[in-house]
Amino acid sequence: MKAIIPTGGMGTRMRPMSFYVNKHFIPVANKPLLFYSIEAVAAVGVKDVIITYNPEGLEIAKEYLGDGGRWGLKFTYVLQENPRGGLADIVRVSEEALGGDDFLLHLGDNIFSEGIKEVVDHFLKKKPNGLVTMVKHKENKRLGVPVFDKDGKLVDYLEKPENPPNEFAIPGLYFFDKNVFKCFSGKDKIKPSERGELEIKSSYMWLIEHGYRVDVVEYKGRWLDPGKFDDWIESNQYLLDKTVESRLESKIEEGNQIKGRVYMGKGCIVKNSEIRGPVSIKDNVSIIDSYVGPYTSIDEGCLIQKARIENCVLMTNVKILKVETQIDNSLIGPEAEISGNGGRRTCVEFFIGEKANIKL
């Protein structure tokens, strides 16, 4: 079995950040979002992965991902010419690279925190022509929703229904065999939706209508969909809580307080500061006369001086200087700088992109 992982899409829900950074490479718990998808498919024994990209997206994808060797994988890069082509179009353009093999499509902005082995095992052992993954979700009306007949058989797939018929939603993990490619040709081939996209729903419905077997499996682990700001912060919290282990790779002088689970990389400087975990800090970060609170991830090269932050995601080379007001619930883009003049407010929140400069 092979896998497809997309790196394209417009990332509109993550603007202004995604104007400058492909959302798939924005960190969650100090790891680029897309890496979680790659690790998930590697963990179930997949070796060949198709990475789809939009025009002008190949260079950045290869810069972050390389040839897949770091995960023990082989990457094949495939162009999706139309970024708005839809998920079924991603399947269509990958046909040649798949070479007739069964495959899964794992969206690059979805995280299945307990892995995907149970769903993969069902597909490989039961051998349906397609498989839909579903999760219980309180807000399933903003997602795809499966519809079943009285025998529990999938009969429809609703996109963002106002009144969902059940409590399930369809996350970004899809399975097919080679029969799915029949839906892209012939008189009854699938057509673009009102949005102008080839929808993955249409591929599943084509299989069902033509007598092919489509199974549905409930994913019972925690599914994360950090597609917009609030969800990103929540996902960062959850993964830090789940994954951070106490390890300090930099020497910490006396006079600092390190409490809870804190990971700190190499070359860091900490002076007269308190760090309260779970916190993840990458290499070459300086924290001086400051407080770093729980659920914060700090990427390489950041400087925090005379400031208080908590529940934040800081990308590379961020500077926060002389800000007495606590910064909370924030996502701060690479090389952004926030500086203060000594004034104090109760709390401030930021969602700012690359190289922003804010004075308080």
With beta carbons less than 8 A apart as the criterion, state whether 82 and 91 touch: no
Which DSSP state fits 248? E
Question: What gap in Å lies between CA 347 and CA 345, rounded to an integer?
Answer: 6
In the chain, the largest separation of any two C-alpha atoms, in whole Å, equals: 75
With beta carbons less than 8 A apart as the criterion, state whether 276 and 290 touch: no
Question: What gap in Å lies between CA 41 and CA 24, rounded to an integer?
Answer: 16
pLDDT at position 256 = 96
Pairing of strands 303-314, 296-298: parallel
Helix ranges (DSSP H) in the chain: 17-20, 33-43, 58-65, 87-93, 95-98, 117-126, 200-209, 229-243
Q: Does 3.40.50.12160 match the CATH number of domain 249-359?
A: no
Question: What gap in Å lies between CA 30 and CA 318, rounded to an integer?
Answer: 14
With beta carbons less than 8 A apart as the criterion, state whether 285 and 265 touch: yes
| 279 phi-psi bin (left φ>0, alpha ψ -120 to 50, beta other) | beta
Question: What gap in Å lies between CA 75 and CA 51, rounded to an integer?
Answer: 6
Per-residue pLDDT tens, the chain, 360 aa: give them.
999 999 975 555 555 565 566 778 889 999 999 999 999 999 999 999 999 998 888 988 999 999 999 999 999 999 998 877 899 999 999 999 999 999 999 999 999 999 999 999 999 999 999 999 999 998 888 888 999 988 888 898 888 888 889 999 999 999 999 999 999 999 999 999 888 889 999 999 999 999 999 999 999 999 998 877 788 899 999 999 999 999 999 999 888 999 999 999 999 999 999 999 999 999 999 999 999 999 999 999 999 999 999 999 999 999 999 998 899 999 988 898 998 876 665 566 566 555 656 655
With beta carbons less than 8 A apart as the criterion, state whether 317 and 335 touch: yes
Residues 342, 260, 326, CA angle at the centre, nearest 5°? 20
For 78-117, give one letter per residue: b (16+ CB within 10 A) or e.
Answer: bebeeeebbbbbbbbbbbebbeeebbbbbbbbbbbeeebe
> 323 phi and psi, to 5 degrees?
-110, 100
In the structure encoding, which two tokens stand for residue 320, read together? 């926060």
| Type of residue found at 346 | T
> 295 phi and psi, to 5 degrees?
65, 40
Beta-carbon-side half-sphere exposure of residue 338 (alpha carbons within 13 Å): 28
Question: What gap in Å lies between CA 215 and CA 119, rounded to an integer?
Answer: 11
pLDDT at position 348 = 67
pLDDT at position 56 = 81
Q: Is 69 helix (H, G, I), strand (E, B) or coil?
A: helix
With beta carbons less than 8 A apart as the criterion, state whether 225 and 171 touch: yes
In the structure encoding, which two tokens stand for residue 248, read together? 């300090």
| Type of residue found at 233 | I
**Domain segments of the chain: what residues?**
2-240, 249-359
Q: Which residues contact 304 (CB under 8 A, 6 or more apart)?
A: 285, 286, 287, 288, 290, 292, 298, 319, 320
Note the CATH architecture for domain 2-240.
Answer: Alpha-Beta Complex (3.90)
Question: What gap in Å lies between CA 119 and CA 152, rounded to an integer?
Answer: 18
Question: What gap in Å lies between CA 48 and CA 311, rounded to an integer?
Answer: 37
